[in-house]
Amino acid sequence: MRYIYSIIKADYLQRTRSYAFLITLAITFYAAYSFVPPPTASYTTLNIVGYKGVYNSAWVGYVSGMMTAIMLSLYGFFLVNGGIKKDIETEVGLIIATTPITNFGYLISKMFSNLLVLLTIAGCTFVVSIIMFFVRTSGSPFIIGNFLIPYLLFVVPAMFAISALAVIAEVFLGKRSILQYIVFFFFFGILMANVNGQKNETLAVLIDPFGVRTMTNSIKNQVNTQFHEHITAVNLGFTFARKRAFQIFEWNGITITSLFLFSRLLWIFFAFGVVYLSSPFFHRFDFNQSAGKKKKTSTGEHQNITPEFASTGISRALMPPLVTDYGILPFIKTELLLLIRKGSKWFWLVIGGLSLSMLFAPIGVAHSYLLPVLWFLQVTRWSELATKEETNRLHYFTYASYKPLQRMLPAQILAGVILAIVLALPLILRYALALDGYSIINIINGAIFIVLLAVCLGIVSRGKKLFEILFFLLTYTLTQKIPFADYLGAVTHDSQVVYMAVVLGSNAVLGLISFAVRNYQSRHL
């Protein structure tokens, strides 16, 4: 138990003291503020066509708790994922492997550290939701139970599940980060689809880690009973729609049943169960077999090499000529090779197939869904554009090189933009044949934006985690056709000129911040 507590404490402190956590926390504050929109807002977070709930303590508390459970589950996985990988990179795992702690003990400590990080963020949204109650309402009594119940019954079980999934993803998929993200994305999508589409009410409640079905059914049944309606769906999430006439009703929370309480405990037991079942497959930082193969291969190679300078010493004539090139092109070539060679070669078949599919899919589907997903598959490549020097402890050399701001950083940005544009070429070609110049410019602006966002967040946070979280949220919200997340012109806007100006302005701001912060870092090692 002593070892488990020490790992949990050290891991939690290390994560919460990072720039990525602090910036994520700031974003969470804003998200919690938006969960309860003002009456004049152009969006809703819980939409019932023709009806609107009174902003009492139950409505504010439950909606905020439900949105926290869903949204924090979405980006929380990306935030806490990578704990085992961090121990491998820092070689702390080698020390842990020599201790008496069991595989299950180590993995459960990682799950609890993940859980504490997520609950810290959830606790902040809990406080903001109470503040928003007093800001948004007037005259309704404050009932603390209407805030505690949704956070305890909706948020906590969901965070247990996400914390456990982040651990077992690393156990079975190792360092394949992009594969972990894809599997989690599909798992989350399938889970939400089954919850909303499941006809068996008992099964729908049991497989729902967020409590969505219980809450939406409670609201739907009250509206149908009170107004003699036959509403079949309640939309939960950010919904942008034109203002329409609506009727007001007062909702006072869910009815807690034994089935619902059992489903909450079921997901907590699920978290412990999957971690326990995955513990026999944990490598426990034992890489002797792979290291032995490498050692054997390298030994065989050295046996065939005859030393050139053993008897004669070092001769400059035998060495390759020294070529001096102070241009930027060699840097761009090197950065492109690093981007292309990262990850599995077989994965490029998937990327290439997805890129070519944009030639044949409906152009709207290609622009709104295929291209965002295709670019998201490059998240692990772009997230390391400006961070790999510090990760590999080479920044002492690169920052001291000849004109790093004029050569290296622009080369990294250009390499990332070139990769994005090359992947989008099939769609660009279709727009060129259709003489749609606006869409081509929007795609190029989007490529520049996403690469500059990766570089800027990487430089500011000195890590890749923050960009991975934001890029996932951008991709998810864009596929939901939410206008403010449209960075590549996939959604129709009232004014194309204003939209392009906003994207160009964002690119300029991101570029200025990137160069300014990198200039400061290079002068203050």
For residue 289, the Cα-to-chain-centroid distance in whole angstroms is: 33
Q: 131 with 210, same domain?
A: yes
CA 21 vs CA 27, 79, 120: distances in Å:
10, 8, 10
Confidence of residue 242 (pLDDT cuts 50, 70, 90): low
Confidence of residue 295 (pLDDT cuts 50, 70, 90): very low
Q: 275 with 334, same domain?
A: no
CA 481 vs CA 221, 242, 272, 307, 369: distances in Å:
29, 15, 36, 63, 10
Q: Which of 241, 263, 281 is the last residue of a domain?
A: 281
Instruction: Look up the domain containing 468 and give its range.
Output: 329-523
Burial of 59 (0-12, 13-18, 19+ CB in 10 A): buried
Q: Which of 246, 264, 281 is the last residue of a domain?
A: 281
Confidence of residue 296 (pLDDT cuts 50, 70, 90): very low
Taking the C-alpha atoms of residue 397 and residue 485, their distance in angstroms, rounded to an integer, is 38
Taking the C-alpha atoms of residue 351 and residue 384, their distance in angstroms, rounded to an integer, is 19
Q: Is residue 286 part of a domain?
A: no
Average pLDDT value for the chain: 84
* Tokens representing residue 381 in the block: 């490549």
Query: Based on the structure, what is the number of domains in the chain?
Result: 2
Q: Is residue 410 part of a domain?
A: yes
Q: Model-level pTM? A: 0.76
Is residue 310's pLDDT more than 90? no
For residue 92, the Cα-to-chain-centroid distance in whole angstroms is: 25
Q: 174 with 232, same domain?
A: yes
Q: Which of 222, 249, 281 is the last residue of a domain?
A: 281
Q: For position 78, what pLDDT does the model report?
A: 84
Confidence of residue 303 (pLDDT cuts 50, 70, 90): very low
Confidence of residue 294 (pLDDT cuts 50, 70, 90): very low
Q: For position 214, what pLDDT does the model report?
A: 87
